[in-house]
Homo-oligomer: A and B are copies of this chain.
Amino acid sequence: MPAGRRTKRDVLSEFRTAEILGAARSVFAAKGFADATVDEIAQVAGVAKGTLYLYYKSKRDIYLAALKAGVQTLLDQLRERFATAETVAERIRAFVETRLVYFDQEPAFFRIYYSEFASAAAAAPASHRFVRDMYLEQIGMLADAIRTAPDRDRALRPLDPERVAAVVGELTRGLISDRTLHRGRATVEDEVRFVLDFVWNGLST
């Protein structure tokens, strides 16, 4: 099993990568992309500045990698939740709750994720695709979940799963940004209930 070799080197490398990405996430979240400095990321990561450039070829690269890692974690959690949810209603609830809890636990990450998403349209056409994919992967996952729900409810109107997923995605995003920006007035449960009720009513015949 050749893939199992070189463990020492690989482990170290992964350790460094994780260290750097963690530092990057927290610094970028605190300062935003432009105001974050490579110096600070290196310091927080506990490595020399030059070392960052051994693993990533630019500041933007570090940023995107941190973003990707965070989204990956979220996607993994979603996949897990979907696996044990059977009805459309349960899956939508799973989607909303998972995102809300995730970003509540990682407000820092939400900031860079959302911020990058927002400014993707501007300037950098390069990251355009990356960001779009990041978004589509989440929405797509929900759309799939809706489409393939084993016991798809008959009471639902025949709406395009993509669009329904987009709507739920937007409302969730709204909930999160509301909580992040305005220090939510209501409890999570209350907010989730309102959105789910609203969506359910919208979906039903």
Binding site for B on A (CB under 8 A): 29-35, 107, 110-112, 114-115, 117-124, 128, 131-132, 135, 157, 159, 163, 166-167, 169-171, 173-174, 177-178, 180-182, 194-195, 198-199, 201-204
Contacts A167-B171, A170-B173, A202-B202; is A115 near B111 (CB within 8 Å)? Answer: no
Q: Would you mind naming 28 contact pairs between A and B with Cβ atoms under 8 Å apart?
A: A30-B122, A32-B119, A32-B122, A34-B34, A110-B121, A111-B119, A111-B121, A114-B121, A115-B121, A117-B118, A118-B118, A118-B177, A119-B119, A121-B181, A128-B181, A132-B181, A135-B181, A157-B201, A159-B198, A163-B194, A166-B174, A166-B178, A167-B171, A167-B174, A170-B171, A170-B174, A199-B202, A201-B202
- Sample of 20 further A-B pairs with CB below 8 A, known A121-B181, A167-B198: A30-B122, A30-B123, A31-B123, A32-B122, A32-B123, A33-B34, A34-B34, A34-B35, A111-B119, A112-B122, A120-B181, A121-B180, A163-B194, A166-B174, A167-B171, A170-B173, A173-B174, A201-B201, A201-B202, A202-B202
Measured CA separation A166–B182 after assembly (Å): 13
- In the complex, how many angstroms separate the beta carbon of A203 from the nearest chain B beta carbon? 8
Measured CA separation A33–B118 after assembly (Å): 12
- Give the copy number: 4
